[in-house]
Amino acid sequence: MRIARSSRSLGFALLATAGLVVSLAACSAPAPDNADAGDCAVTPSGTASESVKVTGDFGALPVVIFDPGISAKSTERSVVIDGDGDTVQPGDTVQVQFSILSGATAVNIDGTGYTDDTLVDFDVDENKLLPGLVKTLQCSTVGSRVVGVIPPADAFGDAGSEQLGIGAGDDIVFVADVVAIKPAPEPALPKADGADQPPVDGFPTVVLDATTGRPTVTIPDTAPPTDFQLAVLKKGDGAVVGDGDSVTVHYEGITWSTKKIFDESWARGEPSTFKTSEVIPGFTQALVGQTVGSQIIAIIPPDLGYGPSGGRAPDISATDTIVFVVDILGIG
């Protein structure tokens, strides 16, 4: 469920909020406004928002009392409970419990159930959420309960909302408990985007994660080849890697005998950049002549890898064959 603002329509999805008590009259004393929110543009409180009395514990269904016909010239925001968590910034996604009431009638029209499974996510972005809700939420701290009195210009405009019983020109009252700020999603890792190539018999199988492109490599239960072997899994159409070029790649290295990963860039969350002349001979041989956008798999015998002079203890012995899957992402 989302309170959404779009170029075509404005609307709420209705949720029952059982037990909400709405009454006439009563006023509340001015509340703090998270004024220490740093550079965030705090929406100021005003006579209207300060007149809304909200009682109850944070995270529990509130009792909201104000006079019907409440209105404000611009969105007003007051803090009922001042939390001590992180500050909500424009563009954040916040998890909230909320109640919305008609400013004209003081009747509850939408909200959540104030239980763990009724938390909703709001994007603090006026392109995705009613502006008045954004102005009420931004600059609030996690753990805060905030109230906004929102005029039509920041809500449903002159048209109102027939679905919700909001008349033309009616204000709304928004009460929200700011439970958490959701972490920003991990950026997608770059990956080879070349054309898929047919698998080659005898090579390890490679299955890619649909989101990150990170490979899962299955080594056959057979003895490894004794010579260098290379297969192209994806064929890119970019520049050709030359001897001595600086390349940017994602890679995963597996020891054939143990079937264990000994090194990979995907786990570190960023590709690696190096010159083709700075790596083991088998890695150089695998890269030179390939094109950017390609994914390759190379089977590297000890004499072109870390042996026979000592290997890379304890992961690779002097006699181990190793396998690399490599995404070639760029040159230079």
Torsion over CA of 306, 312, 317 and 319, rounded to 10 degrees?
Answer: 10
Final residue in a domain of this structure, among 181, 215, 230: 181
- Residues 284-295: what's their mean pLDDT? 97
Rounded distance between C-alpha atoms, residue 100 and residue 170, angstroms = 13
Q: What pLDDT is attached to residue 313? A: 67
Strands 195-196 and 108-111, by their bridges, are unpaired
- pLDDT > 80? residue 13: no
Q: Does residue 304 sit in the same domain as residue 224?
A: yes
pLDDT at 69: 96
Q: Name which of 295, 314, 202 is nearest 250 in CA terms.
A: 295
- pLDDT top residue among 210 and 181: 181
Query: Is residue 120 domain-shared with residue 223, that is, in the same domain?
Result: no
Residue ending a domain, among 181, 206, 223, is 181
Is the per-residue pLDDT at 1 higher than 80?
no
Amino acid at 207: V
For the chain, the maximum distance between any two Cα atoms, rounded to a whole number of angstroms, is 87
Q: Which residue has the higher pLDDT, 329 or 186?
A: 329
pLDDT of residue 290: 97
Q: Are residues 15 and 157 in the same domain?
A: yes
Q: Are residues 37 and 171 in the same domain?
A: yes
- The answer to whether residues 173 and 222 belong to one domain is no
pLDDT tens per residue, range 243-256: 999 999 999 999 99
Q: Tell me, yes or no, whether 186 lies in a domain.
A: no
Q: Determine, yes or no, domain membership for 188.
A: no
pTM flag (> 0.85): no
Binned at pLDDT 50, 70 and 90, residue 315 comes out as confident
Q: How confident is the model over 77-94, as a mean pLDDT? A: 97
Which tens digits make up the pLDDT trace of 158-194?
A: 899 988 889 989 999 999 999 999 998 766 678 999 9
Q: Are residues 173 and 200 in the same domain?
A: no
The whole-angstrom separation of Cα 308 and Cα 279 is 16
- Last residue of one domain, picked from the residues 124, 148, 181: 181
Least confident of 15-19, 124-128, 198-202: 15-19
Question: Same domain, yes or no, for 168 and 64?
Answer: yes
CATH value at residue 244: 3.10.50.40
More confident residue, 277 or 1: 277
| φ, ψ of residue 136 in degrees (nearest 5) | -75, -40
- Pairing state of beta strands 63-65 and 215-218? unpaired
pLDDT at 70: 97
In a domain? residue 187:
no
148, 173 Cβ separation under 8 angstroms: yes
- Give all strands (DSSP E) within 197-277, no chain letters: 205-208, 215-218, 229-235, 246-255, 260-264, 272-275
Residues recorded for the chain:
332
Residues 20-33 have a mean pLDDT of: 31
The verdict on residue 228 lying in a domain is yes
* 220 plus 177 within the same structural domain: no
Whether 162 and 249 share a structural domain: no
Residue 124 confidence (pLDDT): 96
pLDDT the model gives residue 216: 96
Task: Judge whether 93 lies within some domain.
Answer: yes
The reply to whether 111 falls in a domain is yes
Percent of the chain's residues with pLDDT above 70: 87
Residue at 263 is within a domain: yes
The answer on 305 and 158 residing in a single domain is: no
Do 96 and 138 belong to one domain? yes
160 with 307, same domain?
no
Percent of the chain beyond pLDDT 90? Answer: 76
- CA dist 142 and 61 (Å) reads 17
Q: pLDDT at residue 279 above 90? A: yes
Cβ atoms of 256 and 224 within 8 Å: the answer is yes
Range with lowest mean pLDDT among 91-95, 159-163, 193-197? 159-163
**Residues 18 and 114 sit within 8 Å (Cβ to Cβ):** no
- The pLDDT value recorded for residue 29 is 32
- Residue 314 backbone dihedrals phi, psi, to 5 degrees: -95, 5
> How many distinct structural domains can be found in the chain?
2
Domain assignment present for residue 91? The answer is: yes
Domain that holds residue 280: 195-331
